[in-house]
Amino acid sequence: MNKMIVVYYSWSNGNTEKIAKLIQKITASDIVHIETLKPYTGNYKEVIEQGKREVESRFKPEIKSLLVDFENYDVIVIGTPTWWYTMAPAVLSFLNNQNWYGKIIIPFITDAGWPGHVIDDIKKTCQGAEFAQEMEIRFDSNGGNHMETAESKIEEWIMKIKHTFLK
């Protein structure tokens, strides 16, 4: 039987966190939240502009230690909001510090209608991993927390993960 962990980064409305916690609840897997060492400050617009600069420069902020030995996990679910068409910089920091060979990665992204190339970027960064069951979850286009993707579709996706990888 595979051992699974959910790793996610979430900022602002907590949309990615909501999905990560639903996955954890349904699959009874472990879960860990990626946090930057220096939290983002300022209003929503200021953080969005900072995020844009970071994405454009491929900046990798320092993140807090996750205190998890990822060697103990076969399946790693990775959740990120879409920041300027790619993953949040904190997720890039996390991904660049792991050995992905032999791991199964299940990426999910949250966005407001512009998924960009997040999944492709995660795949390029996690060399040696096998990818499965990727998912885009859409929230309202005004940056709010109203989920546009049907909750039943998300639960169906999670059950498929559970039955495929956690037999």
- What are 25-71's pLDDT values in tens digits? 999 999 999 999 999 988 878 888 998 999 999 999 999 999 999 99
Q: Which two tokens stand for residue 114?
A: 């512009």
* Residue 153 parent element (H or E): helix 151-165
From CA 12, how far away is CA 58, in angstroms rounded? 21
Global pTM reads: 0.94
